[in-house]
């Protein structure tokens, strides 16, 4: 059997969907889907894309080019970019939230991005303690406003914000040194 047929069998088992439902979705016979699964036939590109959509996985995963079924694409252009382990954990955490909570996280991230312009003017006069106080305030706001009471999640957000602030400060320092 091919990697594709192995992955297809695995997806049927883990997702608890029937071969008949995939056949109906693709507009093919049950026998065609069975042939895909047993490796005696392979789908064309169009059908491969539709199978990936049906199972919410990437074509790269189905064909064995990636072991990551979701192939995290984080750029707005859809280009695959490397995702650091901390970023991946954040993405997975957000994916596990109900849609309403995902929207709240998105709104909060937009709020954080909106603060970047303000930091340009403030960064030269800010003390490290001020930044830590802001991080604590943001985490407290998330707890109270969004009902997030998981200490590990709040600590994770603390760490993400600290890393982002360090990277921002390093970028500003490089710009000052180069300019």
**pLDDT of 103-121, one tens digit each?**
888 888 887 777 766 555 5
Identify the band that residue 37 occupies on the pLDDT scale cut at 50, 70 and 90: very high
pLDDT digits (tens, 9 = 90+) for 118-138: 555 555 555 555 666 776 677
- What share of the chain has pLDDT > 90, as a percent? 28
pLDDT in the model for residue 98: 86
Within a 10 A sphere around the Cβ of 36, how many other Cβ atoms?
Answer: 25
How many other β-carbons are positioned within 10 Å of the β-carbon of residue 106? 11
Residue 143 reports pLDDT greater than 70: no
- CA separation for the pair 112, 118 (Å, rounded): 10
Tokens of 135: 């991080």
Q: Which residue has the tokens 């997702």?
A: 15
Q: What is the pTM of this model?
A: 0.44
Rounded CA gap, 56 and 50, in Å?
Answer: 9
* Cβ-based neighbours of 154, under 8 Å, separated by 6 or more: 139, 142, 143, 148
Residue 31 clears pLDDT 90, i.e. is over it:
yes
Least confident of 2-11, 47-56, 165-174: 165-174
**pLDDT tens for residues 3-26?**
999 999 999 999 899 999 999 999
Residue of 61, 78, 58, 62 lying closest to 4 (CA atoms): 62
Three-state DSSP class for residue 158: helix
Mean pLDDT of 36-56: 93
Q: Where residue 96 falls among pLDDT bands split at 50, 70, 90?
A: confident
């Amino acid at each position: 059997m091919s990697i594709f047929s192995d992955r297809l069998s695995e997806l049927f088992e883990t997702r608890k969907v029937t071969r008949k439902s995939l056949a109906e979705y693709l507009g093919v016979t049950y026998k065609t889907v069975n042939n895909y699964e047993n490796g005696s036939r392979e789908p064309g590109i169009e059908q491969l894309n539709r199978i990936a959509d049906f199972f919410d996985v990437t074509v790269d995963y189905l064909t064995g080019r990636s072991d990551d079924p979701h192939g995290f694409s984080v750029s707005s252009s859809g280009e695959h970019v490397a995702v650091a382990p901390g970023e991946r954990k954040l993405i997975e955490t957000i994916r596990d939230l109900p849609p309403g909570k995902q929207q709240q996280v998105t709104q909060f991230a937009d709020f954080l991005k909106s603060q970047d312009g303000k930091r340009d003017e403030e960064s030269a006069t800010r003390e490290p303690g001020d930044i830590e106080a802001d991080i604590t305030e943001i985490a407290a706001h998330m707890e109270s406003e969004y009902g997030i009471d998981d200490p590990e999640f709040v600590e994770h957000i603390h760490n993400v914000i600290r890393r982002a602030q360090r990277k921002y400060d390093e970028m500003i320092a490089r710009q000052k040194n180069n300019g």
